[in-house]
């Protein structure tokens, strides 16, 4: 497939999203956790050439507060959290206006052992 013009917009931000929504552009680079992907409004394309680097969630903690319990908890969350689940959590908070703390607590209770 060949595309026409290239327009430099914001990286994954509201300008790119608005341009997609109003037909100014046909393809854009937004974050895979954007709730508009989960809404079915947009379609995520495959990246067989691995042109876009993975944007994995990585917990960062100050050395002064880290202990074995915290490491264990964060490792359990990292092991259980998939991109699809993260997208659903973002959707609940952004689109459905649910409380982030409640959404996170419910997910941890269900998925983190």
Q: Categorize the per-residue pLDDT at 30 as very low, low, confident or very high, splitting at 50, 70 and 90.
A: confident
Could you tell me the pTM of the whole model? 0.67
Check residue 6 and give its pLDDT.
82
Mean pLDDT over the full length of the chain: 87
Average pLDDT over residues 50-75: 88
Burial 62-94 (b: 16+ CB within 10 A, else e): eeeeeeeeeeeeeeebeeebeeeeebbbbbbbe
Q: Is 34 helix (H, G, I), strand (E, B) or coil?
A: coil
- How sure is the predictor about 66, in pLDDT bands with cuts at 50, 70 and 90? very high
Give pLDDT, residue 32.
Answer: 79
Quote the CA–CA distance of 80 and 100 in Å, as a whole number. 18
């Amino acid at each position: 497939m060949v595309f026409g013009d290239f327009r430099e917009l914001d990286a994954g931000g509201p300008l790119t999203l608005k341009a997609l929504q109003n037909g100014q552009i046909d393809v854009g680079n937004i974050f895979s956790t954007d709730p508009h992907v989960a809404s079915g409004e947009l379609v995520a394309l495959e990246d067989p050439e691995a042109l876009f680097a993975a944007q994995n969630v990585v917990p960062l903690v100050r050395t002064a507060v880290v202990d074995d319990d915290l490491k264990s908890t964060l490792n359990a969350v990292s092991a259980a959290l998939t991109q699809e689940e993260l997208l659903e959590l973002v959707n609940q908070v952004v689109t459905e206006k649910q409380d982030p703390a409640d959404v996170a607590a419910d997910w941890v209770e269900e998925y983190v052992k």
